[in-house]
């Protein structure tokens, strides 16, 4: 009988411990880094944040210009390319009260209009990139391709890092 009681007690203890582990909630994600517009301690306005982004972009563009060794003959298409890449301020958020007055079809049309505007901007950038790429010699194209891959990878890594801050992985469970 004593053995049976020990078995029940150890089983109950294991059940309580495992249910306590399952009931634990993951810690909240850490806040955005200081200086980020969503950091709660010192919210920087979006204009300042975009200005810093423009500065970083200008620095990278200058580095790429030097790496590509852009010639005087290529300078015109380079400038057109750089102008097409100029970050645009995001449109002001729509007034939720105004959006509430619209029916579902009208709201969908507003969203589609925004997507069309974004697509038009991307098409302008693609055209400028094609013109620049056509003006580059094969060695410059190789450098451009490598840099574009590197920047894409950095962006993906940065986005993954931000996603991990917002939604950390669940703890390992037995």
Residue (of 81, 83, 57, 61) closest to 136 by Cα position: 81
Residue 98 has pLDDT above 60, yes or no: yes
Higher pLDDT, 79 or 39: 79
Q: Write down the pTM of the prediction.
A: 0.61
Residue (of 117, 113, 112, 110) closest to 95 by Cα position: 110
Average pLDDT over every residue of 52-80: 92
- The 3-class secondary structure across the chain, one letter per residue, is CHHHHHHHHHHHHHHHHHHHHHHCCCCCCCCCCCCCCCCCCCCCCHHHHHHHHHHHHHHHHHHHHHHHCCCHHHHHHHHHHHHHCCCCCCCCCCCHHHHHHCCHHHHHHHHHHHHHHHHHHHHHHHHHHHHHHHHCCHHHHHHHHHHHHHHHHHHHHHHHHHHHHHCCCCCCCC
Handedness of CA 155, 156, 157, 163 (dihedral sign): positive
Mean pLDDT, the chain, integer? 77
Reported as a single tens digit per residue, the pLDDT across 121-150 is: 999 999 999 999 999 999 999 999 999 898
Average pLDDT over every residue of 17-32: 44
Reported as a single tens digit per residue, the pLDDT across 34-50 is: 555 555 544 557 778 77
Give the pLDDT confidence score for residue 17 in this predicted structure. Answer: 46
Average pLDDT over every residue of 89-115: 84
The full length of the chain comes to 174
Q: Is there a contact between 31 and 172 (Cβ–Cβ < 8 Å)?
A: no
Q: Is residue 67 very low, low, confident or very high in pLDDT (cuts 50, 70, 90)?
A: very high
């Amino acid at each position: 009988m004593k053995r049976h009681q020990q078995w029940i007690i150890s089983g109950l203890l294991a059940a309580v411990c495992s249910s306590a582990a399952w009931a634990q909630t993951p810690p909240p994600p850490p806040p955005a880094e200081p200086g980020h517009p969503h950091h709660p301690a010192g919210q920087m306005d979006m204009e300042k944040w975009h200005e810093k982004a423009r500065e970083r972009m200008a620095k990278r563009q200058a580095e790429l210009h030097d790496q590509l060794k852009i010639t005087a003959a290529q300078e015109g298409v380079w400038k057109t390319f750089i102008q097409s890449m100029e970050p645009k301020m995001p449109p002001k958020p729509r007034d939720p009260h105004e959006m509430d007055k619209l029916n579902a079809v009208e709201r969908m049309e507003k969203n589609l209009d925004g997507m069309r505007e974004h697509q038009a901007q991307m098409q302008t950038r693609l055209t400028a990139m094609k013109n620049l790429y056509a003006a580059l010699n094969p060695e410059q194209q190789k450098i451009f391709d490598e840099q574009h891959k590197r920047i894409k990878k950095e962006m993906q890594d940065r986005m993954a890092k931000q996603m991990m801050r917002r939604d950390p992985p669940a703890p390992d469970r037995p």
